[in-house]
């Protein structure tokens, strides 16, 4: 392993070289190059990499290094065939790394686990569907099955899936969103009446300031860097709050700009870069508002206008007095202690905010995966409401979504707590009463399977066993099931934790041509900006025994329910027919089959962006919450005499969630190793340890269960004292199942209380170039 200071900008030659390296490594260079060039073009497929939107001006930047990796990873010609699976028993595969498993290629045939041979063996699609139907129909109650969704599923997949599951009789829809932006949905719905962001991509061209909280776009939303670069160049202030100094947020060279590549010109992205403590962002925003209140007071006392937007507050909001009194009651000492920033730093950020006419605030997992995430998001909304920074050009709230269609899946009804309007529509259009009782989210599903209450698990994509918290409990939960079914493109950890019976069903991916009775089909997806557009695969390869996700869902549904409430196989012949049904149920989709023909797709609309507030009071609501008492609750701190650290678990530059592409975290300068803990040098010294020492890590939770991982390397890093950063999914065994966000139930995977101990194992020689 090496740790090396990365001195370049993000993007640039490093990104281009890495893209090319990934392409050349694969077996089909020419084809992959061609694919890449079609990504996010009008007639190509939607990049499966992330949910950032497309610029109007196509080709301005239509792919990025990490999008290229995602495409290339899927479009491989390697295959996991029944012959491969016969040679490699599940117990052997389970010993291999996540990287190894997915590297074997695309799953080629439906397979069923045989307990006697410990191998997956070929089965026909018909037999697979019949087996699922038999298990589902044998359950005492539909609530005994769990239907997981990962956010790559298209709108068409998601709509059919929820229709089937609701007709079957349950709202058990655990999904990846429960681990991701759930808090954004819940927080924003209460504050502004809609659980989505309010801005469009164009708004970034009109913002004077963009505040970026808890997000690493250089790796996870590289096309966002291009947007930020444009904004920065025209003089917009970009202010970043991130526990780590992420290179992409510091400076960026666009790998698709020949000029910049030749001259090596990099654009400075962030005008100010603040490194708060993990979980300190609510205090940061509270402090900004406190600072702004002080300025406002001075202005008004001098007889000048308020710096807030009183007309907006008056016309559009409720609760401002109560909120401002909570701000007043919060002492500066509490704010600075929790934020980990000085009052002067917070005042500086507040001043930049005030200078701007139009402000956008963006955030991602650094905000949503904490205990007090909903409150933090509502605090962010409060700040924007004070200044009327909502529903005007260049301003608004922007939770940057993760998976490329995670937002669309929610729009389509993948929701364990569906709204009454949605259920009424389903009942009206399809003539059956969908279940009203709330179903299980991800944590609820794990608990139900663990308790033996849920007996069937079906995963529409994703990697449930690796992505969820408390790995060993989750794996136990899956193996308790009578049947586990995974609809997937690639072999992963979850497939190696079979229930009593188990199936893997190989599906087409975004890049593949999806040929049905009436010809090649396209699907639709929704990005972070409520834009819906079509996606059609272009790769024609050996996919004979794979099926599209809509076809697989239809097969399961028809075997289980017959032709009710719809003729499933008829729908699959032409996906326009699915979209006609979507349009009958989901607002904004009227005429979808025409609208997706327009280049760039169509805008679903957003009530808050139009200053319509779908809250009980019909106004935007200032939400008033105290700061958390302590970032690390006393009952957790008291569980150990040793120094207790707070661990955030995050992505390296070379992974897609649980998919590990390689071992290069380029912008952080870490290479060849994933079992690392980024820690402040002073903490290493205080522990009496040395840089590069190997440690074991134990997390603290008052339930008597030991959660421990072994042999992680200490790496001195620029991170606040007391905070540590490491990669997921290796660290998921540390996330206690009950360590979850208030209201959101999102695992608090950015705030895990841990202690460190010297590892029994000795460290190998490593080459540290810098600290």
Ligand X SMILES: Nc1nc2c(c(=O)[nH]1)N[C@H]1C(S)=C(S)[C@@H](COP(=O)(O)OP(=O)(O)OC[C@H]3O[C@@H](n4cnc5c(=O)[nH]c(N)nc54)[C@H](O)[C@@H]3O)O[C@H]1N2
User: What does the binding site for ligand X look like in residue numbers (CB under 6 A)?
Assistant: 49-50, 66, 102, 150-152, 176, 179-180, 213-216, 219-221, 241-244, 246, 276, 278-279, 281, 364-366, 369, 402-403, 460-464, 467, 487-490, 492, 507, 509-510, 549, 648-651, 655-659, 728, 731-732, 735, 749-750
255 and 16 Cβ atoms separated by less than 8 Å: yes
Find the part of the chain contacting Mo ion (CB under 5 A) among 88-96, 141-149, 177-185, 539-547: 177-185
Distance of closest approach, residue 592 Cβ to ligand X, in angstroms: 21
Cβ proximity to ligand X, 364 vs 532, nearer residue: 364
Cβ proximity to Mo ion, 408 vs 555, nearer residue: 408
Cβ proximity to ligand X, 467 vs 534, nearer residue: 467
49-to-218, 298, 351, 485, 543 alpha-carbon distances in Å: 13, 48, 36, 24, 22
List, in order, residues 6 or more apart from 316 with CB less than 8 Å away: 385, 388, 611, 613, 619, 620
Which three-class secondary structure state does DSSP give residue 643?
A: coil
Distance of closest approach, residue 617 Cβ to ligand X, in angstroms: 31
Cβ proximity to ligand X, 533 vs 750, nearer residue: 750
Q: What does the angle CA 561 – CA 567 – CA 569 come to, to the nearest 5 degrees? A: 95
State the binding partner of 175 from Mo ion, ligand X, none, CB within 5 to 8 A by kind: none
402 is a site residue for Mo ion (CB under 5 A): yes
Distance of closest approach, residue 130 Cβ to ligand X, in angstroms: 21
In 3-state terms, the chain is what percent helix, strand and coil (to 5)? 40, 20, 45
Find the part of the chain contacting Mo ion (CB under 5 A) among 138-146, 398-406, 457-465, 537-545: 398-406
Handedness of CA 666, 669, 673, 675 (dihedral sign): negative
Find the part of the chain contacting Mo ion (CB under 5 A) among 41-49, 123-131, 401-409, 496-504: 401-409
Distance of closest approach, residue 180 Cβ to Mo ion, in angstroms: 3
State the binding partner of 461 from ligand X, Mo ion, none, CB within 5 to 8 A by kind: ligand X
70 is a site residue for Mo ion (CB under 5 A): no
State the binding partner of 535 from Mo ion, ligand X, none, CB within 5 to 8 A by kind: none
Using CB under 5 A as the binding criterion, the count of chain residues that bind Mo ion stands at: 2
- Report the DSSP beta bridge partners of residue 375: none
Distance of closest approach, residue 265 Cβ to ligand X, in angstroms: 25
Cβ proximity to ligand X, 530 vs 621, nearer residue: 530
259 and 293 Cβ atoms separated by less than 8 Å: no
Find the part of the chain contacting Mo ion (CB under 5 A) among 174-182, 338-346, 433-441, 477-485: 174-182
Residue 770's CB: how many other CB atoms inside 10 A?
10
Distance CA 3, CA 716 (A): 10
The label of the residue with tokens 């507030």 reads 613
Residue span 202-241 as binding mask against Mo ion, x where in contact by CB under 5 A, dash where not: ----------------------------------------
Which three-class secondary structure state does DSSP give residue 729?
A: coil
Pairing between β-strand 531-535 and β-strand 523-526 as defined by DSSP bridges: antiparallel
Token pair, residue 177, equals: 């969103």
**Greatest CA span in the chain, whole angstroms?**
84
Cβ proximity to ligand X, 184 vs 382, nearer residue: 184
Distance of closest approach, residue 220 Cβ to Mo ion, in angstroms: 9
State the binding partner of 66 from Mo ion, ligand X, none, CB within 5 to 8 A by kind: ligand X
- CB hemisphere CA count around 636 (13 angstroms): 20
What are the backbone angles phi and psi of residue 205, rounded to the nearest 5°? Answer: -80, -10
Handedness of CA 16, 19, 20, 21 (dihedral sign): positive
Distance of closest approach, residue 623 Cβ to ligand X, in angstroms: 19
Pairing between β-strand 694-699 and β-strand 111-114 as defined by DSSP bridges: unpaired
The label of the residue with tokens 């999008």 reads 67
Residue 136 host element (H or E):
helix 125-138
Distance of closest approach, residue 227 Cβ to ligand X, in angstroms: 15
445 and 747 Cβ atoms separated by less than 8 Å: no
Distance CA 343, CA 627 (A): 16
Of 592, 617, 618, 591, which Cα lies nearest the Cα of 607? 618
Which three-class secondary structure state does DSSP give residue 47?
A: coil
Distance of closest approach, residue 405 Cβ to Mo ion, in angstroms: 11
Cβ proximity to ligand X, 151 vs 185, nearer residue: 151
Token pair, residue 522, equals: 């396209």
Distance of closest approach, residue 406 Cβ to Mo ion, in angstroms: 6
Distance of closest approach, residue 186 Cβ to Mo ion, in angstroms: 15
- DSSP one-letter string for 556-604: HHHHHHSS-SS-HHHHHH-HHHHHHHHHHHSTT-TTHHHHTTSTT-EE-
State the binding partner of 186 from ligand X, Mo ion, none, CB within 5 to 8 A by kind: none
180 is a site residue for Mo ion (CB under 5 A): yes
188 is a site residue for Mo ion (CB under 5 A): no
For Mo ion, the nearest residue by Cβ is 402
Cβ proximity to Mo ion, 161 vs 656, nearer residue: 656
Residue 235's CB: how many other CB atoms inside 10 A?
8
State the binding partner of 490 from Mo ion, ligand X, none, CB within 5 to 8 A by kind: ligand X
Token pair, residue 463, equals: 């990697």
Handedness of CA 158, 162, 168, 172 (dihedral sign): positive
Distance CA 381, CA 396 (A): 9
Cβ proximity to ligand X, 426 vs 538, nearer residue: 538
Cβ proximity to ligand X, 253 vs 658, nearer residue: 658
Distance of closest approach, residue 506 Cβ to ligand X, in angstroms: 9
State the binding partner of 749 from ligand X, Mo ion, none, CB within 5 to 8 A by kind: ligand X
Distance of closest approach, residue 78 Cβ to ligand X, in angstroms: 14
Distance CA 738, CA 382 (A): 29
State the binding partner of 522 from ligand X, Mo ion, none, CB within 5 to 8 A by kind: none
Cβ proximity to ligand X, 139 vs 700, nearer residue: 700
Distance of closest approach, residue 219 Cβ to ligand X, in angstroms: 5
Cβ proximity to ligand X, 154 vs 198, nearer residue: 154
The label of the residue with tokens 């380029």 reads 666
Distance of closest approach, residue 263 Cβ to ligand X, in angstroms: 27
Cβ proximity to ligand X, 388 vs 444, nearer residue: 444
Find the part of the chain contacting Mo ion (CB under 5 A) among 7-15, 399-407, 693-701, 704-712: 399-407
162-to-62, 166, 582, 688 alpha-carbon distances in Å: 31, 6, 11, 54
For the chain, how many residues are written? 771
Distance CA 302, CA 635 (A): 48
State the binding partner of 253 from Mo ion, ligand X, none, CB within 5 to 8 A by kind: none
Distance of closest approach, residue 65 Cβ to ligand X, in angstroms: 8
Cβ proximity to Mo ion, 180 vs 604, nearer residue: 180
Cβ proximity to ligand X, 19 vs 621, nearer residue: 19
State the binding partner of 209 from Mo ion, ligand X, none, CB within 5 to 8 A by kind: none
Cβ proximity to Mo ion, 190 vs 442, nearer residue: 442
Distance CA 43, CA 19 (A): 22
Residues in touch with Mo ion (CB under 5 A):
180, 402
């Amino acid at each position: 392993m090496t740790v090396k200071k990365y001195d370049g900008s993000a993007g640039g030659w490093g990104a281009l070289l890495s893209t090319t390296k990934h392409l050349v490594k694969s077996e089909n260079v020419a084809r992959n190059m061609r694919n890449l060039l079609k990504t996010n073009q009008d007639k190509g497929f939607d990049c499966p990499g992330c949910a950032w939107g497309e610029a109007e001006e196509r080709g301005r930047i239509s792919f990025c290094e990490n999008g290229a990796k995602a495409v290339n990873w899927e479009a491989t010609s390697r295959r996991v065939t029944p012959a491969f699976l016969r040679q490699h028993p599940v117990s052997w595969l389970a010993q291999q790394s996540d990287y190894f498993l997915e590297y074997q290629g695309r799953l080629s045939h439906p397979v069923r686990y045989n307990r006697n041979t410990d191998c997956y063996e070929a089965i026909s699609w018909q037999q697979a569907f019949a087996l699922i139907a038999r298990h589902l129909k044998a359950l005492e109650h539909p609530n005994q099955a769990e239907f997981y969704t990962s956010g790559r599923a298209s709108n068409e997949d998601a709509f059919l899936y929820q229709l089937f599951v609701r007709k079957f009789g349950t709202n058990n829809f655990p999904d990846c969103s429960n681990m991701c932006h759930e808090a954004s949905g819940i927080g924003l719905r209460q504050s502004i009446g809609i659980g989505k962001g309010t801005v469009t991509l164009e708004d970034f061209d009109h913002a004077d300031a963009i505040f970026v909280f808890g997000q690493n776009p250089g790796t996870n939303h590289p096309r966002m860097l291009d947007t930020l670069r444009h904004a920065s160049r025209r003089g917009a202030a970009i202010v970043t709050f991130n526990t780590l100094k992420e290179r992409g947020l510091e400076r960026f060279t666009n790998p698709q700009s020949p000029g910049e590549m030749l001259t090596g010109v990099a654009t400075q992205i962030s005008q100010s870069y603040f490194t708060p403590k993990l979980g300190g962002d609510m205090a940061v925003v509270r402090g900004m508002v406190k600072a702004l209140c002080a300025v406002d007071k001075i202005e008004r006392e001098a007889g000048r206008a308020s710096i807030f937007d009183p007309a907006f507050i008056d016309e559009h909001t409720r609760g401002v007095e109560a909120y401002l009194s909570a701000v007043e009651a919060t002492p500066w000492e509490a704010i600075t202690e929790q934020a980990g920033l000085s009052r002067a730093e917070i005042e500086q950020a507040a001043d930049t905010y005030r200078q701007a006419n139009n402000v956008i605030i963006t955030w991602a997992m650094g905000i949503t995966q904490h205990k007090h995430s909903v409150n933090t998001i509502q605090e962010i909304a409060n700040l924007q409401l004070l200044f009327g920074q909502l529903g005007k050009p260049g301003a608004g709230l922007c939770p940057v979504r993760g998976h490329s269609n995670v937002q669309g899946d929610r729009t389509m009804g993948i929701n364990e707590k569906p709204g009454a309007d949605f259920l009424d529509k389903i009942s009206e259009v399809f003539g059956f009463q969908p279940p009203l009782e709330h179903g299980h989210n991800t944590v609820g599903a794990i608990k139900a399977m663990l308790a033996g209450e849920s007996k069937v698990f079906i995963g529409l994509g994703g990697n449930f066993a690796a992505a969820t918290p408390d790995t060993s409990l989750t794996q136990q939960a899956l193996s308790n099931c009578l049947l586990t079914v995974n609809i997937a493109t690639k072999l992963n950890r979850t497939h190696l934790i079979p229930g009593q019976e188990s199936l893997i069903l190989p599906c087409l991916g975004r890049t593949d041509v999806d040929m049905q009775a009436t010809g090649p089909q396209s699907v639709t997806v929704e990005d972070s900006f409520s834009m819906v557009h079509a996606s059609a695969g272009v790769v024609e390869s050996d996919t004979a025994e794979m099926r599209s996700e809509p076809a697989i869902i239809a097969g399961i549904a028809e075997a289980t329910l017959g032709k009710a409430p719809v003729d499933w196989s008829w729908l699959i012949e032409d996906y326009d027919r699915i979209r006609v049904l979507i349009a009958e149920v989901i607002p904004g989709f009227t005429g979808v089959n025409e609208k997706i023909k327009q280049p760039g797709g169509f805008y679903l609309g957003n009530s808050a962006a139009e200053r319509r507030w779908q809250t009980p009071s019909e106004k935007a609501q200032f939400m008033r919450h105290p700061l958390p008492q302590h970032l690390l609750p006393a009952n957790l701190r008291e569980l150990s005499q040793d120094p207790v650290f707070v661990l955030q678990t995050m992505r390296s530059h070379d992974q897609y969630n649980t998919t590990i592409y390689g071992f290069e975290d380029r912008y952080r300068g870490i290479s060849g190793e994933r079992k690392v803990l980024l820690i402040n040098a002073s903490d290493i010294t205080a522990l009496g340890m040395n840089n590069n020492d190997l440690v074991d890590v134990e997390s603290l939770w008052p339930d008597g269960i030991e959660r421990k991982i072994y042999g992680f390397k200490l790496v001195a890093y620029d991170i606040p004292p007391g905070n540590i950063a490491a990669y997921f999914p290796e660290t998921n065994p540390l996330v206690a199942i009950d360590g979850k966000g208030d209201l959101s139930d999102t695992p608090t995977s950015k705030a895990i209380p841990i202690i460190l101990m010297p590892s029994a194992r000795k460290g190998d020689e490593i080459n540290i170039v810098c600290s």
